[in-house]
Chain A
Amino acid sequence: MSPSTSDVVVTGLGATTPLGGDVASTWEALLAGRSGVSRITDEWVQEFPAQLVARLAADPAEQIDRVRARRLDRSQQVAVIAAEQAWAESGAADAGVAPERIAVVFGTGIGGALTLLGQDDVLEAKGPKRVSPFTIPMLMPNGPAAAVGLAIGAKGGVHAPVSACASGAEAIRWGLDLLRLDRADVVLVGGAEACVHPLPMAGFAAMRAMSTRNDEPERASRPFDKGRDGFVLGEGAAALVLERADSAAARGARVHARLAGAGATADGYDLVAPHPEGEGAGRAITAALRDADLSPSDVGHVNAHATSTPVGDTAEAAAIRSALGDHALVSATKSQTGHLLGAAGALESVFAILALREQIVPATANLDDPDDDANVQALDIVRQEPRRATLRAAVNDSFGFGGHNIALVFTTA
């Protein structure tokens, strides 16, 4: 396969997040240091140890037709919103690509939890005959991918990787592979999550994974900080349009960045705890660099997974340092967006791409007092305000419960 046919570029971006209803407003809020985190005020939260959430900035009801929305789980609604933005921006719809050559890869960590739990309430209260006939298509974890596929008319395959908080990044990797293998000409990839509900909140809280800094919502998500005490659950979606560089150039598409490589590994260590030295995570970054034919010194920026959990951040710091050294500028954007689980890798890839395009690295909020851990201390984590830099390549890494590690390498267009 010649390099020209395996070169893959990003030609469209979309997102709806706790910081904004689209990519531009999200990016602006990120650079301005705004937080998407707030305290839940619903009655049910009173007994909960962790009461914080990063809700969507824009209500999906304002972005999607009412009748269409009522047949889509919230995770599918946000997927469709982000995907349609990316699709429109790419101009691929007008490029005359055969539907059989358009594919979708869209991941989610949890799937249609709100539908599952909401319809269980209906079942308990009113019996089986009142359960919605849309229950199954709304709760299935391939639902966001399927809804996106229908929205853009993709007939070249619709896939739904499920790897917890690595799902969104894994979708991007699958998209890269599909294009390299010539299984499709255009692939819309991304991740979606919307599971703000008492049950997932209680489950994550029972794992002691969530921040309980309830009185300081905007300061609760503090990756790499000594005072971090867990993540903040977020909701939203992000989407990217991928295509081969030659066909993108032929149709005059705007190229945001190049997707140069990807690496995927598994920890093989524990179902939920990360390997303490980030062994599998580091191997994923190294594999992605090899795939991209780049050296550690080429990587100027890392958008870290950094969820603000005590064990996760130090393991990742070890992984970044072992794979790349200390020179790259690191950002932990979950400090402002919260943790979008299966959408996180897609959203943070969008941020990495924008950092490359705009040559600016977002700051990590709330990093007042970096952890004493030697690896955290050694990393150049951007804080206080965004930093201008000359960037050629950026890495986004994502990890999921189950020991899933995905690293993606983007380079400037």
Chain B
Amino acid sequence: MSSTQEIQSGLAEILEEVAGVTPADATPEKSFTDDLDVDSLSMVEIATAVEDKFGVAIPDDQLANIKTVGDAISFIEKNQG
């Protein structure tokens, strides 16, 4: 089980790798599309990387509900382990 802090920093690493987001910008209130300029195909790549890193499964219908960094952190916290 990863702590909230570990999840946030792990997610920030993925965002930097996949979409070039500066880690300091990957804060919970940020919207992937509106604030971080992540397009839909990159979101799919991020979801895959999150699945690998945190051992969670993100069904497509759930991915559509993940709008912000905070949404992603909550999803991982609820579903990991």
Contacts and interface: CB of A to CB of B under 8 A. Distances in A.
Contacts of A66: 20
Contacts of B18: 67, 70
B29 interface: no
Given A66-B20, A67-B19, A130 B48 contact: yes
Interface in A117-174: 129-130, 132-134, 137
A129 B59 CA distance: 11
B24 interface: no
Contacts, number: 18
Nearest to A134: B41
Contact of B48 (A65, A70, A129): A129
Nearest to A68: B20
Contacts of B41: 71, 133-134, 137
Contacts of B45: 132-134
A133 B63 CA distance: 14
A70 B18 CA distance: 8
A143 to B, nearest CB: 14
Contacts of B19: 67
Contacts of A132: 45
B20 to A, nearest CB: 3
Nearest to A129: B48
Contacts of B20: 65-67
Looking at chain A's contact residues, is the secondary structure mostly helix, strand, loop, or mixed?
A: loop
A119 to B, nearest CB: 13
A132 B44 CA distance: 8
Interface in B3-40: 18-20
Interface string A322-336: 000000000000000
Contacts of A134: 41, 45
A255 to B, nearest CB: 38
Nearest to B40: A133
A162 to B, nearest CB: 24
B13 to A, nearest CB: 14
Contacts of A65: 20
Interface in A26-67: 65-67
A133 B19 CA distance: 13
A137 B39 CA distance: 14
Contacts of B44: 133
Nearest to B39: A71
Nearest to A66: B20
A65 B20 CA distance: 10
A339 B18 CA distance: 34
Nearest to B45: A133
B61 to A, nearest CB: 15
Nearest to A70: B18
B58 to A, nearest CB: 11
Contacts of A71: 41-42
Interface string A61-87: 000011100110000000000000000
Interface string B43-65: 01100100000000000000000
B37 to A, nearest CB: 10
Nearest to A131: B48
Contacts of A137: 41
A65 B41 CA distance: 18
B23 to A, nearest CB: 14
A234 to B, nearest CB: 31
Contacts of B48: 129-130
A102 to B, nearest CB: 23
A154 to B, nearest CB: 20
A19 B35 CA distance: 42
A133 B41 CA distance: 6
A70 B49 CA distance: 15
11 contacts: A66-B20, A67-B18, A67-B19, A67-B20, A71-B42, A129-B48, A130-B48, A133-B41, A133-B42, A133-B44, A134-B45
Interface of B: 18-20, 41-42, 44-45, 48
Given A130-B48, A134-B41, A137-B41, 6 more contacts: A65-B20, A71-B41, A71-B42, A132-B45, A133-B41, A133-B45
CB-based closest 3 A-B pairs: A67-B20, A133-B44, A133-B41
